[in-house]
Chain A
Amino acid sequence: MSIALESAAQQEAAVPRSRFWGKLLRNRSAAIGLTLVGLFLLLAIVGPSLVPWDPIATSWTTVRKPPSAAHWFGTDELGRDVLARVLSGARASLTAGVISVSIAVAIGGPLGVAAGYFGGWTDTIISRCTEALLACPFLILAIALGSVLGASLTNAMIAIGIAAAPIFIRLTRGQTLSVKTEDFVEGARAIGLPHRWIIARYIIPNIFAPILVQATLIVAQAIIAEASLSFLGLGQQPPAPSWGAMLSTGKNFVQQGQWWMSVFPGVAIFFTVLGFNLLGDGLRDALDPRES
């Protein structure tokens, strides 16, 4: 009997899931966003091997050459192929975006659930600290943390992750508070299930959707933040390519009319961020139960 019940429960769960994908793909912004994100993911994985140039190999014969048949995106101040660097930079940017948001969710999620679920002193302490951290603009906090940790891509990801964590603490806390009062949680408590079990089985599945939406939108912010830190020299260190650092050097040559060194990495950041923004907006609409 229990097997029959379980399979019935699975079927029930399966319906909303397929409806979710249907809704997501019918949502125009989500579909465009998913395509853009997928495209950049693909470029990050296979892109560098499609280009015959090494992203860090310098060449004194091809310094700052405009786009040509050999170098589609031109070459930079050390004669490196800009296309190869943009493709390798995609790896750095996407990794940084996804990992830093994972760090933020890993820190913020448990703290937010704890604050919302247990309330009382736990909540007071966590919420006050969150407010204090939110009192500092995200990028300033990331720059300050980055300067303490030292300049590297890993440290930039950690700094962005810590700086973004309060956003997730606040969100999961609020969501947990609203789910906590639902009848099924009350019921679970009434039959004496342990807190661990209630949180894992009843709270987390019900707060997952808004966190996923927020995480997608914050990946966009994190990619900009990583590019900003790299632009300032606090992220990816040379000669490894990153879009932010490429823009930072490109900036010096734009005044001489050499636009290709900054346009291509900038456009790459723009479309990646746009993709995550569209996907986040689309996910929000697809997961919103009020929208039909």
Chain B
Amino acid sequence: MISFIARRIVIAIPTIVLVSIFVFALQKMLPGDPILVLAGEERDPIVIEALREKYRLNDPLPVQYFAWAWQALHGNLGISLRTNAPVLDLILEKLPVTLQLAAMAMSFALLIGIPAGVMAAVKKGTAWDYLATGLALWGLSIPNFFLGIMLIFLVSVQLNWLPASGYVSLGESVSQNLRTMIMPAFVLGNALAASMMRHTRSAMLGVLKQDYVRTARAKGLLEPRVILKHALRNALVPVVTVGTLLFGELLAGAVLTEQIFTIPGFGKLIVDAVFNRDYAVVQGVVLCTALGYIALNLLADVLYVVLNPRLRAR
């Protein structure tokens, strides 16, 4: 088991190196010379030259890359041009907000997606199956920003149940925080719930045909016990793996959800950075999401083996 994890980590290293090269290249592809911005209006050639030396822009690209990667490894992702704060600090400040949103969205997705998937598989071909499958298709086709706007209209404007915006942090007030986060979390979790439902349904359909399910029924176990204990436990193996991978998608979905509900998270950070041409922040956010995604991939692989006794023995 440990050797398996170690091997997976070793395989992930070249991917991480390549991701960092892409992110570095992204910075180099940018239009405009950042030094001209820093040099001020006079554009004194001596100042420009000094700045080029200072930021190592006269070095060959590979040297520049290694210098940048070395700094990044030490947690120095540069300084935000807009706020003058270290990029890492900004990311660490915003990340918990998005993680809370993503975790809540994930809970919604699990609570809706898995029971719906089980029901659709058990009652395959009935109205329940069509209802669940239809809802899943709806969930996959509705863009979360549109769903968000519609919910704001219905729940906040018409019914006046929940606030449309005005994020309150968990530290200030837990109940206020939940009131502002529940709608965005539902919006973000909606597509994921649809995905989870589809995966649970197809995994359950596969498992229900297995011999051990027939055996469980043959020995007279009650149907709920057969479904929940014998079938679902096995069907959940691929669902857990997919769920782990989809958690990364939530980070991307959060960009728009946070924009609509004006939640000061990771997604809003990247959008604001794009518009302020604050490229160090864009770069930092892309690098961090990619690293998080790679970590999730690793976790998904490990979980797959942990949950699958047949693979564990090897």
The answer for the CA separation of A150 and B251 in the assembled complex, in Å, is 23
Task: State the majority secondary structure of interface residues on B.
Answer: helix
User: Interface centre among A131, A137, A228, by most B CB within 10 Å?
Assistant: A137
Given contacts A137-B252, A266-B146, contact A255 B290 (CB under 8 A): no
The answer, yes or no, to whether A153 is at the interface (CB within 8 Å) is no
CB neighbours (8 Å) of A150 from chain B are: 31
Give me 8 A-to-B residue pairs in the complex whose CB atoms sit less than 8 angstroms apart, sorted by A's number.
Answer: A139-B252, A147-B279, A150-B31, A231-B256, A247-B145, A251-B260, A254-B153, A263-B150
Contact B157 A254 (CB under 8 A): yes
| B141 engages A132 (CB within 8 Å) | no
Residues of A near any B CB (own CB < 8 A): 128-129, 131-133, 135-141, 143-148, 150, 220, 224, 227-228, 231-234, 244, 247, 250-251, 254-257, 259, 262-263, 266, 269-270, 273-274, 277-278
Listed in ascending order, the chain B residues whose CB lies under 8 Å from chain A are 14-15, 18-19, 21-22, 26, 29-31, 137-138, 140-143, 145-146, 149-150, 152-153, 156-158, 164, 248-249, 251-253, 255-256, 259-260, 270-271, 274-275, 277, 279, 282, 285-286, 289-290, 293-294, 297
Q: In the complex, what's the smallest C-beta–C-beta distance from A98 to chain B, in angstroms?
A: 17
Question: Are the CB atoms of A277 and B137 closer together than 8 Å?
Answer: yes
Q: Write the nearest CB–CB distance from A285 to chain B, whole angstroms.
A: 13
Shortest C-beta distance, B86 to chain A (Å), equals 20
Contacts of B141 in A (CB 8 A): 220, 270, 273-274, 277
Bound complex: CA A220 to CA B31 (Å): 31
Q: A143-B255, A255-B164 are in contact. Are A136 and B289 (CB under 8 A)?
A: yes
- Interface contacts beyond A136-B19, A139-B255, A228-B145: sample of 8 additional A-B pairs, CB < 8 Å, sorted by A: A137-B251, A144-B270, A145-B26, A147-B274, A147-B279, A147-B282, A148-B26, A255-B152
Between A and B, how many residue pairs show CB distances below 8 Å? 129
Pair B143/A128 contact, Cβ less than 8 Å: no
CB–CB B259/A141 < 8 A: no
Chain B residues with CB under 8 Å of A135's CB are 15, 19, 290, 293-294, 297
Chain A interface main SS type: helix
Contact check, A270 vs B146: say whether CB atoms are below 8 A apart: yes
Residues A270 and B293 in contact, CB atoms below 8 Å apart = no
Known pairs A132-B18, A233-B275, A266-B150; A140 contacts B289 (CB<8 A): yes
Bound complex: CA A93 to CA B282 (Å): 26
Question: What is the CA–CA distance of A148 and B260 in the complex, to the nearest angstrom?
Answer: 23
Complex contact B253–A270 (CB within 8 A):
no
Q: How far is the CB of A123 from chain B (nearest CB, A)?
A: 14
A270 to B275, CA, bound (A): 27
Q: Distance in Å from the Cβ of B129 to the closest Cβ of chain A?
A: 14
